[in-house]
């Protein structure tokens, strides 16, 4: 029988996950008056993933889907315990969205969730692209793809820009990689999870070329571009993590730049959070050069990024 855990006044609970003691924070309470809540250990995995997801900017639809996946797996297990029919639980997924929208981050979170729910034995993430699957001669591609799947057993195989596998036409070895993936995602569907990711438009075209693929991916998650406000929130989080801050003028300049670059960017070519991270990292290096020359090392100056430090080149 599941043992309840008492929530202390600080909003945290102590639970044991995979043999390790962890402190988890409960994000939502349905009672305004309650200062003590009880939460059952059987849902500790969801609580932990919710806490991690709460640190991600935006992604409301993705967060909803992750909770639905948890509920689906959990209730199917309960149905199985009662001798009821259980739907085919293929968890292969498709992530559609532009670069820098958090697809890889979400894939890692899912690996952790599936490990805690005993869906996957390891929960690790193997990242791959066309060059990792496609070989140089007949038979080479199938072997490379099989080797990659073998590494992913117990975890998630994440293939970015998956549509590139279909770019070369019928004679291209990419088709051999697709055929091998399809075979193994059926034969070993409970041993690993395959996630295909890429631009929305290109992924839709990819599926139209391979109609048999669509039915094998019951979970399709869209990752929309970030708004300027969300990009500024991402920038603020990154600065806090690095113990830096923008001067008010630098913050305004960054916001104005993001508004302009989003308007001017070719559709699908703006790299969202990745672009912001690159700007911050380059600006930190620029600030270091300025301070070196100015010979100014006060704590405030060491922490402050000013307008002259901002670097917007990709």
Where are the domains positioned within the chain?
4-46, 88-223, 228-309
Q: What is the pLDDT of residues 71-95, one digit of tens each?
A: 988 898 889 899 898 876 789 999 9
Of the ranges 19-33, 196-210, 226-240, 254-268, the best mean pLDDT one: 226-240
- How far, rounded to the nearest angstrom, does the alpha carbon of residue 127 sit from its chain's CA centroid? 12
Other beta carbons within 10 Å of 158: 26
pLDDT at 267 over 80: no
Q: Which CATH superfamily is domain 88-223 in?
A: P-loop containing nucleotide triphosphate hydrolases (3.40.50.300)
Q: What single-letter DSSP state applies at residue 310?
A: -
Q: How confident is the model at residue 34, as a pLDDT?
A: 45
The sheet with strand 93-97 has its strands ordered as 125-128, 156-160, 193-198, 93-97, 219-223
When pLDDT is averaged across residues 273-301 and rounded to a whole number, the result is 92
Give the model confidence (pLDDT) of 153-189 as tens digits: 999 999 998 888 887 666 678 888 888 898 898 888 8
pLDDT surpasses 70 at 6: no
Listed ranges 15-24, 210-219, 224-233; the one with the highest mean pLDDT: 224-233
100, β-bridge pairs: none
Q: Could you tell me the fold of the domain covering 228-309?
A: Helicase, Ruva Protein; domain 3 (1.10.8)
| pLDDT at residue 51, as a whole number | 87
Tokens of 79: 């149905």
For residues 9 and 213, the model is more confident at: 213
The single residue listed with the structure tokens 């036409």 is: 169
pLDDT of residue 33: 42
* The predicted structure's pLDDT at residue 47: 85
Residues of the chain above pLDDT 90, percent: 41
In contact, 234 and 276? CB cutoff 8 Å: yes
- Residue 196 pLDDT grade (very low, low, confident, very high; cuts 50, 70, 90): very high
Residue 111's pLDDT band (cuts 50, 70, 90): very high
Assess contact for 87 and 43: CB atoms under 8 A.
no
**pLDDT at residue number 107:** 94
pLDDT at 39 > cutoff 60: no
Residues 162 and 177 sit within 8 Å (Cβ to Cβ): no
pLDDT of residue 169: 61
Confidence (pLDDT) at 268? 59
Whether 88-223 and 228-309 share one fold: the answer is no
Beta pairing partners, 134: none
Q: Which residue has the higher pLDDT, 215 or 63?
A: 63
Highest mean pLDDT pick, 3-17, 198-212, 241-255: 241-255
**pLDDT confidence bin for 35, thresholds 50/70/90:** very low
Mean pLDDT score, 260-282: 84
Nearest to 241 by CA among 198, 216, 277: 277
What's the chain's average pLDDT?
Answer: 83
Q: Which of 105, 41, 52, 107 lies closest to 74 in space, CA to CA?
A: 41
Model pTM score: 0.77
Average the pLDDT over 31-51 and give the result. Answer: 63
């Amino acid at each position: 029988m599941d043992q309840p855990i008492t929530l202390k006044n600080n909003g945290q609970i102590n639970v044991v996950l995979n043999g390790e003691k962890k402190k988890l924070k409960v994000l939502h309470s349905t009672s305004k008056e309650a200062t003590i809540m009880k939460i059952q250990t059987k849902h500790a995995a969801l609580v932990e993933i919710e806490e991690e997801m709460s640190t991600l900017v935006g992604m409301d639809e993705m967060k909803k889907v992750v909770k639905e996946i948890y509920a689906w797996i959990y209730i199917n297990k309960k149905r199985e315990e009662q001798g009821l029919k259980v739907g085919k639980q293929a968890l292969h997924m498709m992530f559609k969205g532009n670069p820098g929208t958090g697809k890889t981050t979400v894939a890692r979170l899912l690996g952790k969730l599936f490990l805690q729910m005993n869906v996957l034995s390891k929960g690790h993430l193997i990242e791959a692209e066309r060059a990792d699957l496609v070989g140089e001669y007949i038979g080479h591609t199938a072997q490379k793809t099989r080797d990659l799947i073998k590494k992913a057993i117990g975890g998630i195989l994440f293939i970015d820009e998956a549509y590139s596998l279909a770019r070369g036409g019928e004679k291209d070895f990419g088709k051999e990689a697709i055929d091998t993936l399809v075979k193994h995602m059926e034969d070993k569907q409970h041993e690993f999870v395959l996630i295909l990711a890429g631009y929305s438009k290109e992924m839709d075209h990819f599926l139209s070329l391979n109609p048999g693929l669509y039915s094998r991916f019951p979970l399709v998650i869209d990752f929309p571009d970030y708004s300027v406000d969300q990009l500024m929130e991402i920038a603020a989080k990154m600065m806090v993590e690095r113990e830096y801050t923008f001067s008010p003028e630098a913050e305004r300049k960054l916001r104005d730049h993001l508004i302009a670059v989003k308007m001017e960017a070719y559709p699908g070519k703006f790299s969202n959070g990745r672009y912001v991270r690159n700007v911050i990292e380059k600006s930190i290096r620029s600030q270091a050069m300025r301070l070196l020359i100015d010979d100014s090392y006060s704590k405030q100056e060491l922490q402050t990024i000013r307008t002259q430090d901002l670097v917007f080149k990709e």
